[in-house]
């Protein structure tokens, strides 16, 4: 797809409420995206491409009836409150947010502008008390990441013969003490020693991975959160250089050199979010759009990376894979 064509997908959305089905009539909808990435970086994210492709299919196209606002883009992790306030002042009709930290900052600034987000668990994150009927201005997709993090650890155990010491890299802004305790208990039940390395910002990721290697960890479980999503290329390259097998949230990353990924695909989740945005564009209130959860999960394995790491992947594990990169 040409960049010019893709830019035609990006746009702005939505008044709440709007007459059902309204999407033309000369109005230009103002779409706010609250994220740490810049506008050019957004255009390269597969999730964003798919979300706005879904909107385009419904007739919402930048340059025609959508306007992507600059406010909210490139928000610094240490200045979220100010960035959220600036975005709300720009009067978007809807705000799309990736992750609970940004979603909480946006919700703290507005309880009226609709917010659609992908989060590890919207209910546990305090963004809603109900999946079936969100009780505020936030809806979206709960990725079930806290549950799947344990499953990913088990897959890593299968992939690395004789695994005894596993490290996890976690975001202290997102990953709760209770979740870490559950992972430690699971590791202990499997006879594994588990070390936890916390980071707060992207600048701390490389040093955390270096520390994991220095701790003599045999492998790394990269926990699911937005910070690692936006910095996954850095993580994939660093663990490769360190010779550490690692497992990730998104199976799609196996195409980018990750050893293994287990979870829903980019396309599956992003199209759900795109359809939710379209519903709001057409007049549905967030409280009438249930929070959805993935129903299909994929295991992807990169055999090239396995070879570089000196791993001979077990036939049973390969047989269970949905995608194999060779």
**What is the model's pLDDT at position 85?**
97
Q: Distance between CA atoms of 10 and 41, rounded to whole angstroms?
A: 13
- pLDDT confidence of residue 25: 63
Q: What are the tokens at 56?
A: 């385009």
| pLDDT tens digit sequence for 12-64 | 333 333 333 444 568 899 999 999 889 998 888 888 899 989 999 999 998 88
- Residues with Cβ within 8 Å of 94's Cβ and at least 6 positions away in sequence, in order, are 12, 13, 14, 16, 29, 31, 32, 113, 114, 115, 116, 277, 280, 281
pLDDT of residue 111: 95
Torsion of CA 183, 189, 194, 197, to 10 degrees: 10
- Rounded to 5 degrees, φ, ψ at 158 are -70, -35
Give the model's pLDDT for residue 121: 87
C-alpha span between 199 and 225 (Å, rounded): 11
pLDDT in tens, the chain (326 residues): 333 333 333 333 333 333 334 445 688 999 999 998 899 988 888 888 999 899 999 999 988 899 999 999 999 878 999 999 999 999 999 999 988 889 999 999 999 999 999 988 899 888 998 999 998 899 999 988 778 988 999 999 999 989 999 999 999 988 888 889 999 999 999 999 999 999 998 999 999 999 999 999 999 999 988 889 889 999 999 999 999 999 999 999 999 999 999 999 989 999 999 999 999 989 999 999 999 999 999 999 999 999 999 999 999 999 999 999 99
- The pLDDT, as a whole number, for residue 19 is 34
Name 185's Cβ contacts closer than 8 Å, sequence gap at least 6: none
What's the pLDDT at 178? 86
Output the 3-class SS for the chain: CCHHHHHCCCCCCCCCCCCCCCCCCCCCEEEEEECCCCHHHHCCCHHHHHHHHHHHHCCCCECCCEEECCCCCCCCCCCHHHHHHHHHHCCCCEEEEECHHHHHHHHHHCCCCCEEEEECCCCCCCCCCCCCCCCCCEEEEECCHHHHHHHHHHHHHHHCCCCCEEEEEEECCCCCHHHHHHHHHHHHHCCCEEEEEEECCHHHHHHHHHHHHHCCCCEEEECCCHHHHHCHHHHHHHHHHHCCCEEECCHHHHHHCCCEEEECCHHHHHHHHHHHHHHHHCCCCHHHCCCECCCCCEEEEEHHHHHHCCCCCCHHHHHHCCEEEC
CA end-to-end span of the chain: 24
Residue identified by tokens 């790394």 is 220
Per residue in 210-249, pLDDT (tens digit) is 999 999 999 999 998 888 988 999 999 999 999 999 999 9
């Amino acid at each position: 797809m040409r960049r010019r064509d893709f830019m035609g997908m990006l746009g702005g959305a939505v008044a709440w409420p709007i007459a059902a089905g309204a999407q033309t009539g000369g109005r230009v909808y103002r779409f706010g995206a609250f994220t740490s990435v810049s506008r050019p970086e957004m255009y390269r994210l597969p999730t964003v491409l798919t979300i706005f492709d879904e909107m385009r299919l419904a007739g919402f196209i930048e340059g025609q009836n959508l306007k992507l606002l600059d406010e909210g883009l490139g928000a610094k992790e240490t200045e979220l409150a100010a960035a959220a306030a600036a975005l709300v002042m720009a009067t978007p009709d809807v705000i799309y947010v990736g992750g609970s930290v940004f979603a909480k900052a946006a919700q703290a600034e507005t309880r009226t502008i609709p917010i659609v987000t992908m989060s590890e668990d919207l209910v546990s994150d305090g963004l809603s008390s109900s999946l079936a009927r969100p009780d505020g201005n936030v809806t979206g997709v709960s990725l079930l990441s806290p549950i799947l993090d344990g499953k990913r650890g088990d897959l890593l155990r299968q992939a690395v013969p004789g695994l005894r010491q596993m490290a996890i890299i976690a975001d202290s802004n997102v990953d709760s003490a209770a979740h870490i305790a559950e992972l430690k208990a699971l590791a202990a039940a499997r006879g594994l020693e588990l070390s936890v390395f916390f980071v707060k910002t992207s600048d701390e990721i490389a040093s955390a991975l270096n520390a994991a290697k220095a701790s003599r960890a045999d492998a790394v479980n990269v926990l699911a959160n937005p910070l690692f999503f936006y910095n996954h290329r850095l993580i994939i390259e660093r663990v490769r250089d360190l010779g550490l097998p690692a497992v990730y949230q998104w199976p799609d990353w196996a195409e980018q050199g990750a050893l293994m990924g287990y979870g829903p695909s980019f396309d599956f989740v992003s199209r759900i979010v795109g359809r939710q945005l379209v519903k709001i564009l057409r007049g549905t209130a967030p409280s009438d759009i249930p929070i959805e959860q993935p129903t299909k999960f994929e295991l992807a394995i990169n055999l090239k990376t396995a070879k570089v790491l000196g791993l001979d992947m077990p036939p049973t594990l390969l047989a269970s894979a949905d995608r194999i990169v060779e």
